[in-house]
């Protein structure tokens, strides 16, 4: 088969790497790709938002399957356009993508189909005073509230607030000063939840869903979950604190209700669905839906997937998904190396020193934002590299990831030193408790 992967980050590097393990792949292209991807796929110089450009390329090359990584082309309708032209695409259509592209749509959908989520209200420019009153009522009751811009903001549109003045400022920033443009024309204000966050990612054909191993992202820039939110500074999988009981709840109350709701609304869905959840003791709540693989979650869940990804994508396209995704009994942990300045304006064009060889039993190195010039790699994105460690347990995976980082350097390189720390502490506490029983 001839495959085109759309996107150019660490997620897409991982997708290309995993898809290429399938014997069905004959040729693989990536648009626009990056320096690392250029080593394993043919790079196509078309932006992932240039839907017409992608369509023309697919027609010219007679592409058999397009796998879409990022949310923006999905929300712009890449699937609708390619399918109208009889090109097979893995990724939901424009209507279904509203689950990610509109928080108002997603929250109202969750309410209608009784998918557990934080209590909320939605507001527009006509109801700014009501928005302030609702934020104030949550702050008085709980000490916190969460304000979210409706549209796509690439991780920058949600604010956890504990002060009245800040809440009012953000409401006005979004709806009066329009700091996030059209994305903030409507907002959701919701109750603040506490607990562990997890990313639950499944593949679905609209009838059935199969879950990958659960993972956890680290969204804040700095250690101990401090600093601004980012696209994700690291991840690990599987998670120690997700019990069988919680996973059963997630299956029944989140994914089954979601598929039921989509059918009721007559929305076709074939692709990946990602529930970002908060787990509090034995309860599980959806914070957000994404309509694609996570980044950097993909960098840890696909290395642990034993099954053939392409085979499952093709089964999903034929509405024939069947039970039985298989996984390696290992852990994987990814540390993102970021450019100086990220997540704000960041430096580019720094030469990257990389290890000569990588032992794939212990490490994988995916490129997030690099370019290759004269056989050397240079930084090009805010997130530059996704350094993965694989191990028999989380501790070994972490040690392997951080050991590889010792052999990587670029000027201004920043990374978190505590990826996986909470998970390892959880295991250690559990082991201590069980050994004293």
Q: Does 139 bind ligand AMP (CB under 6 A)?
A: no
Can you tell me which residue has the tokens 């997030």? 368
Residue placing its CB nearer to ligand AMP in the complex, 79 or 199: 199
Residue 48's binding partner out of ligand AMP, ligand GLY, none, with CB under 5 to 8 Å set by partner kind = none
Nearest to 271 by CA among 86, 73, 103, 43: 73
Residue placing its CB nearer to ligand AMP in the complex, 283 or 288: 288
Interface stretch with ligand AMP, choices 132-140, 157-165, 260-268, 311-319 (CB under 6 A): 157-165
Residues 6+ apart with CB under 8 A from 286: 110, 115, 116, 117, 254, 275, 276, 277
Q: Does 217 bind ligand GLY (CB under 6 A)?
A: yes
Q: Does 193 bind ligand AMP (CB under 6 A)?
A: yes
Q: Does 294 bind ligand GLY (CB under 6 A)?
A: yes
Q: Does 100 bind ligand GLY (CB under 6 A)?
A: no
Q: Does 176 bind ligand AMP (CB under 6 A)?
A: no
Q: Does 146 bind ligand AMP (CB under 6 A)?
A: yes
Residue 295's binding partner out of ligand AMP, ligand GLY, none, with CB under 5 to 8 Å set by partner kind = ligand GLY
CB 256 within 8 A of CB 204: no
C-alpha 153/C-alpha 100 separation (Å) is 10
Residue 193's binding partner out of ligand GLY, ligand AMP, none, with CB under 5 to 8 Å set by partner kind = ligand AMP
Residue placing its CB nearer to ligand AMP in the complex, 139 or 146: 146
Residue 160's binding partner out of ligand AMP, ligand GLY, none, with CB under 5 to 8 Å set by partner kind = ligand AMP
Q: Does 297 bind ligand GLY (CB under 6 A)?
A: yes
- The single residue among 256, 288, 393, 399 that binds ligand AMP, judged by CB under 6 A, is 288
**First-to-final CA distance of the chain:** 55
Residues 6+ apart with CB under 8 A from 390: 303, 330, 331, 332, 361, 362, 363, 364, 397, 400
C-alpha 143/C-alpha 301 separation (Å) is 36
Q: How far is the CB of 188 from ligand AMP (least distance, A)?
A: 9
Residue placing its CB nearer to ligand AMP in the complex, 93 or 216: 216
Q: Which helix (H) or strand (E) holds 159?
A: strand 158-161
C-alpha 434/C-alpha 437 separation (Å) is 5
C-alpha 420/C-alpha 394 separation (Å) is 7
Whether the upstream peptide bond of residue 32 has omega within 30° of 0, thus cis, is yes
Radius of gyration of the chain (CA): 21
Q: Is 94 helix (H, G, I), strand (E, B) or coil?
A: helix
C-alpha 323/C-alpha 311 separation (Å) is 13
Q: What contacts 24+ positions apart, CB below 8 Å, involve 159-165?
A: 160/192, 161/135, 163/139, 164/135, 164/136, 164/139
Can you tell me which residue has the tokens 């979601």? 258
C-alpha 136/C-alpha 258 separation (Å) is 31
- The single residue among 192, 247, 315, 408 that binds ligand AMP, judged by CB under 6 A, is 192
Residues 100-129 that bind ligand AMP (CB under 6 A): 118
CB 4 within 8 A of CB 54: yes
CB 128 within 8 A of CB 177: no
Q: Does 276 bind ligand AMP (CB under 6 A)?
A: yes
Interface stretch with ligand GLY, choices 35-43, 159-167, 291-299, 414-422 (CB under 6 A): 291-299
- The single residue among 214, 232, 240, 423 that binds ligand GLY, judged by CB under 6 A, is 232
Residue 232's binding partner out of ligand AMP, ligand GLY, none, with CB under 5 to 8 Å set by partner kind = ligand GLY
Residue 287's binding partner out of ligand GLY, ligand AMP, none, with CB under 5 to 8 Å set by partner kind = ligand AMP
Q: Does 229 bind ligand GLY (CB under 6 A)?
A: no
- The single residue among 173, 197, 223, 256 that binds ligand AMP, judged by CB under 6 A, is 197
Phi, psi of 306 (to 5 degrees): -80, -35
Q: Does 166 bind ligand AMP (CB under 6 A)?
A: no
Interface stretch with ligand AMP, choices 60-68, 190-198, 253-261, 389-397 (CB under 6 A): 190-198
- Fill in the DSSP letter of residue 369: S
Residue placing its CB nearer to ligand AMP in the complex, 274 or 410: 274
How far out from the chain centre does Cα 273 lie?
10
C-alpha 98/C-alpha 93 separation (Å) is 9
Q: Does 222 bind ligand AMP (CB under 6 A)?
A: no
Q: Does 183 bind ligand AMP (CB under 6 A)?
A: no
Q: How far is the CB of 134 from ligand GLY (least distance, A)?
A: 26
C-alpha 13/C-alpha 390 separation (Å) is 17
Contacts with ligand GLY, residue ranges (CB under 6 A): 217, 232, 290, 294-295, 297
Contacts with ligand AMP, residue ranges (CB under 6 A): 118, 146, 148, 157-158, 160, 190, 192-193, 197, 219, 276, 287-288
């Amino acid at each position: 088969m001839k495959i085109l992967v759309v996107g150019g980050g660490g997620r897409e590097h991982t997708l290309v790497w995993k898809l290429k393990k399938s014997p069905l792949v004959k040729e693989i292209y990536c648009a626009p790709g990056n320096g690392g991807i250029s080593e394993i796929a043919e790079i196509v110089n078309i932006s992932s938002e240039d839907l017409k450009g992608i369509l023309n390329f697919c027609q010219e090359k007679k592409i058999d399957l397009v796998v879409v990584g990022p949310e923006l082309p999905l929300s712009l309708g890449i699937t609708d356009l390619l399918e109208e032209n009889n090109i097979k695409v893995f990724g939901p259509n424009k209507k279904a993508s509203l689950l990610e592209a509109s928080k108002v749509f997603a929250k109202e959908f969750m309410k209608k189909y009784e998918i557990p989520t934080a209590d909320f209200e939605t507001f527009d420019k006509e109801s700014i005073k009501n928005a302030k009153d609702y934020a104030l009522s949550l702050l008085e009751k709980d000490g916190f509230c969460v304000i979210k811009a409706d549209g796509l903001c690439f991780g920058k549109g949600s604010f956890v607030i504990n002060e009245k003045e800040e809440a009012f400022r953000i409401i006005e920033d979004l709806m009066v000063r329009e700091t996030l443009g059209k994305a903030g024309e409507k907002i959701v204000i919701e109750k603040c939840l506490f607990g562990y966050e997890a990313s639950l990612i499944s593949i679905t054909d609209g009838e059935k869903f199969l879950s990958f191993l659960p993972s956890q992202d680290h969204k804040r820039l700095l250690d101990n979950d401090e600093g601004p939110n980012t696209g994700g500074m690291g991840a690990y999988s599987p998670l120690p604190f997700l019990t069988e009981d919680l996973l059963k709840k997630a299956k029944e109350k989140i994914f089954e209700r979601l598929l039921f709701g989509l059918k009721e609304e007559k929305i076709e869905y074939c692709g990946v669905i990602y529930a970002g959840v908060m787990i509090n003791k034995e309860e599980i709540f959806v914070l957000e839906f994404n309509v694609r693989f996570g980044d950097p979650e993909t960098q840890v869940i696909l290395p642990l997937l034993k099954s053939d990804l392409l085979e499952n994508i093709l089964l999903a396209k034929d509405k024939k998904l069947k039970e039985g995704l298989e996984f390696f009994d290992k852990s994987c942990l990814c540390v993102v190396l970021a450019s100086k300045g990220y997540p704000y304006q960041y430096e580019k064009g720094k030469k990257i020193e990389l290890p000569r060889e990588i032992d794939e039993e212990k490490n994988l190195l995916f490129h997030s934002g690099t370019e290759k010039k004269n056989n050397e790699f240079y930084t090009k994105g805010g997130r530059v590299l996704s350094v993965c460690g694989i191990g028999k347990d989380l501790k070994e995976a972490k040690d392997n990831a951080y050991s590889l980082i010792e052999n990587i350097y670029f000027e201004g390189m920043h990374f978190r030193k505590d990826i996986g720390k909470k998970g390892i502490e959880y295991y250690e506490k559990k082991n201590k408790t069980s050994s004293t029983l």
